[in-house]
Amino acid sequence: MRLLDKAKFLALFAWRSALRHRRRSLLVISTATVGMTGVLFSMGFSNGMVDSMIRGGVESGMGHVQIRPAGFEKERKIDRRLKNSSSLLERIEGLNMPPELSPTHVAPRFEREGLLRIGSYQEGVVITGIDPEKEKSVSSFDDWIIEGSYLPSRQEEDSTGIIPCLIGAVNANRMEVELDDYVILTLGNHASESVSIRARIVGIFQSPMTGVDRHTVLVHRSALSELYREGSSQTSNITLLTTGLAASAKLDQFLESQLLQPETATTRNDIVADDDFEILSFFQLQPQIETMLNYIDDIKGIIYGVLMSGFALTLLNSVLMSVFERTREIGIQMAIGTRKGFIVVSIILESVILAMAGAITGFVIGGGLVVSLSITGIPLGSFAGGVEMIGSMSTIVYPRITMDDIALGFYVAIGMSILASIYPAYKATHIQPVEAIGGRH
């Protein structure tokens, strides 16, 4: 009980010291509030950027796992095609998925680099052949349609020799085209010859990503396959969408165990070479996002420290001035036998009280700001060019903070307050009682 009484007295003493100069304490608390608000906003924005890139990649058809021709991860050439894709697709669709991976949706795609042309205008695009009904389960293009409709059934267009297509709103505006207008799609066929086909715009989509709008044209996979090689059915990749990003690695491992043949090879690379395909998880497809996630985790503490450094300097000045003004009081305390440890702890507690008051206020204001922006979003339309360079990132970012961010903020605030109180505490313990009481300080 005696120890508890001492703790209460120490806390009360530190609290009274913190409130002795209210204007100065208010300045310290305000500085901490601004710093913590900035910290929460910066971390929320960083998290929102990563979320936007992940969501954009998944919704644009990247899925959680893709099966690609062997060597894609290293070379990143989308023109490669899967061999025996029909039988491979049947094997995947026939798998009995574990409960934690159910449901898992599967869709094939055939991608070719080409040109979208009308008159003198042309744009480099990825002409993507899809199976419309299956594609709906792995991407959001059907939800992004703002004019017209999704791709109709292939049979409706066979007799005309003109294929239907979907283009992005960015290209529609630049080319000044509307629904039912015609464009020319040009690509290289199996013999490396340039071939073109006339396509009718049946729908215009507007995705959250400018790059996807500008560089994606959707057609039927069967039509694109015939254009590439008559009478063929081609597939560049098979996309799988499971219960969530967290299950991406599990799905990758499950597919490897079911589709690859470990008895014929000793390493994963050997297995891929034998089967002529490789299974890639989301972060293998988008390594830059994983790099950004690791980078943000690594620098969170640094960001907190930099943004809170102004608060630390203000706190140092405030506590140091408090010590100087209380020199006589501290001298009397030491003269009557107060231990130096008590003085040191009281000064540290004073700093911590001021820091925590500012941190809590900052969390309320900063947290409220982030929550508000997480609903309305932060539009980045003015930076569309830079956002497009990032790739799958949306032009609207929705900030998000985690409990880990909040906990780290508290730790940094406490750490900064302790560091800022070390020098004032050192000065206080070196006060000479006789000189302090006599006023010769």
* Full domain range(s) for residue 222: 62-286
Q: For residue 101, give the DSSP letter.
A: G
Compute the average pLDDT of residues 241-264: 82
Q: Per-residue pLDDT for 202 more than 90?
A: yes
Distance CA 205, CA 30 (A): 47
Distances from the Cα of 262 to the Cαs of 69, 238, 321, 382, in angstroms?
18, 21, 71, 51
Helix (H) or strand (E) holding 303: helix 287-325
Work out the pLDDT band at 35, boundaries 50, 70, 90: confident
108 and 162, same domain (yes or no): yes
219 and 313, same domain (yes or no): no
Distances from the Cα of 109 to the Cαs of 80, 135, 218, 248, 368, in angstroms?
12, 8, 10, 19, 43
Say what the pLDDT of residue 439 is: 62
How far, in whole angstroms, is CA 176 from its chain's centroid?
34
Work out the pLDDT band at 261, boundaries 50, 70, 90: low
Distance CA 67, CA 73 (A): 11
157 and 218, same domain (yes or no): yes
Compute the average pLDDT of residues 415-428: 86
110 and 11, same domain (yes or no): no
Distance CA 420, CA 351 (A): 8
Residue at which a domain ends, from 286, 302, 330: 286
348 and 388, same domain (yes or no): yes
The three-class DSSP label of residue 263 is helix
Q: Per-residue pLDDT for 121 more than 60?
A: yes
Distance CA 418, CA 83 (A): 64
- Mean pLDDT of the residues in the chain: 83
Q: What is the pTM of this model?
A: 0.75
Residue at which a domain ends, from 286, 310, 333: 286
Residue at which a domain ends, from 286, 316, 335: 286
The three-class DSSP label of residue 147 is strand
Structure token pair of residue 221:
């996979």
272 and 321, same domain (yes or no): no
187 and 244, same domain (yes or no): yes
Q: For residue 115, give the DSSP letter.
A: E
Bigger pLDDT: 339 or 62? 62
Work out the pLDDT band at 272, boundaries 50, 70, 90: very low
Distance CA 241, CA 230 (A): 30
Number of domains comprising the chain:
2
Structure token pair of residue 94:
């026939």
Is residue 24 within 8 A of residue 318, CB to CB? The reply is yes
148 and 222, same domain (yes or no): yes
256 and 280, same domain (yes or no): yes
Helix pair 340-376, 287-325: axis angle to 10 deg: 140
**Residue type at 55 in one-letter notation:** R
Which residues, 6+ apart, have CB-to-CB distance to 112 below 8 Å? Answer: 78, 79, 126, 127, 129, 187, 188, 224, 228, 236
Q: Per-residue pLDDT for 425 more than 90?
A: no
146 and 52, same domain (yes or no): no
33 and 68, same domain (yes or no): no
Work out the pLDDT band at 107, boundaries 50, 70, 90: very high
158 and 264, same domain (yes or no): yes
